[in-house]
């Protein structure tokens, strides 16, 4: 499986570089522009549709895996349930990316966006990807939900993740970098948990999680090359919703569905910095009824800028805290593994 993971990542990085360049061309060709996320300079128009590049890289990388005999064996060995989940993920992601493309070009009402996001989440749920319960680290007891509650919570979880990236993308390179970091943290946690599980089904779920993390992290890393300040292309709503949707699925497939081993605590803790930034933004911007504004002089990043920090320094500082929280999550899994033994 290591060869599959490496193939997934490097294929995604290379295709991410190429398809993001293509997405930039498309955005310029069809005049799909948005304002930059820069603080240090006046706002300037920058191509949107960065999500197209990441999506195409994701699909291409996943498709290329079928050329690998080990991957085909992996799918056939899991009684097709992994294959069914993978198909549902691709279809759901396609729905989200189309929604984002249209939203970037013409705009879509909030109600319509939420409705389509719920439909995509419902598709994922009907194919068996669900939050079935919750457990906490170092505790042996697990709490399982009824089918109705499980379906409801999964839909809410996926819709929240689909939108949360939109509210942390306030600086060039920030959201994409956070996604890359969290993808590798999820990947590491999944590999660690695989070493202590004896269930074939759970192992299959975790292996799929590692593949999804490698592909998403690689594709986003390829995009990040063009997105660092000053950005040549930005995620747009297409990219933010797509990567948020996939991160939500990854947390369900690899963390929450395997409730007896790993808990809701880990994905939430790993995503702690984005949610902290989200909460801060909501509290600050709601006071002025500017929840969706691109810049606010009370904003978290702007406060550091006024103290003499450069935009790149602010972004790297945010990266540091995300890495720190992810490291704590990984260490928690390691310590739990030692205690279990």
| 115 contacts: CB under 8 Å, gap ≥ 6 | none
Cα–Cα distance for residue pair 155/254, rounded to 1 Å: 16
Q: Which residue has the higher pLDDT, 164 or 339?
A: 164
Residue 253's pLDDT is: 87
3-state secondary structure of 260: coil
Q: Which residue has the higher pLDDT, 33 or 297?
A: 33
Residue matched to tokens 């198909």: 87
Report the pLDDT averaged over residues 189-208.
84
Cα–Cα distance for residue pair 142/204, rounded to 1 Å: 21
Number of CB atoms found within 10 A of residue 174's CB: 25
Residue 266's pLDDT is: 41
Using only the alpha carbons of the chain, give its radius of gyration: 19
pLDDT band at 294; cut points 50, 70, 90: very low
Return the exposure string of 98-129: e unless at least 16 CB atoms fall within 10 Å of the residue's CB, then b: ebbbbbbbeebeeeebeebbeebbeebbebeb
When mean pLDDT is compared across 98-102, 166-170, 202-206, 272-276, the lowest value belongs to: 272-276
Cα–Cα distance for residue pair 162/153, rounded to 1 Å: 14
Average pLDDT, rounded, for the chain: 81
Q: Where are the beta strands (DSSP E) in the chain?
A: 33-35, 45-47, 133-135, 142-144
Instruction: Please report, to the nearest 10 degrees, the dihedral formed by the alpha carbons of residues 45, 46, 47, 49 taken in order.
Output: -110
| 185 contacts: CB under 8 Å, gap ≥ 6 | 270, 326, 327, 329, 330
Q: Over 60: is that where the pLDDT of 42 sits?
A: no
Residue 220's pLDDT is: 97
Q: Over 60: is that where the pLDDT of 268 sits?
A: no
Share of the chain above pLDDT 90, in %: 43
Reported as a single tens digit per residue, the pLDDT across 202-255 is: 888 889 999 999 999 999 999 999 999 889 999 999 999 999 999 999 988 875
Reported as a single tens digit per residue, the pLDDT across 155-183 is: 998 998 898 887 777 788 888 998 999 89
Residue 281's pLDDT is: 53
Q: Could you say which DSSP state residue 131 is in?
A: -
For residues 192 and 333, the answer to whether their CB atoms sit within 8 Å is: yes
pLDDT band at 263; cut points 50, 70, 90: very low
Q: What are phi and psi of 332, to 5 degrees?
A: -65, -40
Residue 243's pLDDT is: 95
Report the pLDDT averaged over residues 59-68.
92
pLDDT band at 287; cut points 50, 70, 90: very low
Q: Which residue has the higher pLDDT, 112 or 137?
A: 112
Most confident of 176-190, 278-292, 297-311: 176-190
Residue 63's pLDDT is: 93
- Helix axes 147-164 and 272-286, enclosed angle (nearest 10): 70
Q: Over 80: is that where the pLDDT of 53 sits?
A: yes
């Amino acid at each position: 499986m290591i060869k599959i993971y490496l193939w997934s990542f490097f294929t995604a990085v290379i295709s991410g570089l190429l398809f993001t360049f293509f997405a930039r061309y498309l955005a310029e060709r069809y005049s799909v522009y948005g304002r930059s996320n820069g603080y240090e300079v006046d706002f300037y128009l920058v191509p949107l549709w960065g999500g197209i590049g990441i999506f195409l890289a994701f699909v291409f990388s996943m498709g290329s895996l079928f050329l690998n005999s080990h991957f085909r064996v992996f799918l056939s060995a899991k009684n097709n349930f992994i294959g069914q989940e993978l198909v549902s993920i691709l279809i759901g992601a396609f729905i989200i990316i189309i929604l984002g493309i249209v939203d970037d070009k013409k705009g879509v009402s909030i109600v319509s966006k939420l409705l389509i996001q719920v439909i995509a989440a419902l598709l994922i749920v009907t194919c068996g990807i669900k939050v079935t319960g919750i457990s906490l680290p170092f505790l042996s007891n697990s709490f399982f939900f009824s089918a109705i509650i499980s379906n409801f919570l999964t839909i809410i979880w996926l819709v929240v993740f689909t939108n949360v990236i939109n509210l942390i993308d306030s600086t060039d390179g920030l959201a994409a970098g956070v996604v890359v970091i969290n993808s590798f943290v999820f990947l590491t946690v999944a590999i660690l948990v695989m070493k202590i599980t004896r269930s074939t089904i759970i192992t299959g779920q975790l292996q799929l999680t590692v593949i999804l993390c490698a592909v998403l992290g690689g594709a986003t890393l390829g995009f990040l090359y063009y997105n660092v300040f000053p950005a040549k292309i930005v995620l747009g709503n297409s990219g933010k919703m797509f990567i948020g949707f996939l991160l939500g699925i990854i947390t369900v497939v690899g963390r929450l569905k395997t409730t007896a081993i790993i808990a809701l605590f880990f994905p939430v803790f790993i995503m702690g910095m984005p949610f902290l930034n989200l909460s801060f933004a909501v509290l600050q911007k709601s006071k002025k009824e500017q929840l969706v504004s691109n810049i606010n002089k009370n904003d978290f990043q702007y406060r550091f800028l006024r103290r003499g920090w450069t935009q790149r320094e602010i972004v790297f500082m945010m990266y540091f805290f995300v890495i720190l929280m992810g490291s704590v999550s990984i260490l928690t899994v390691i310590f739990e593994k030692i205690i279990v033994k």
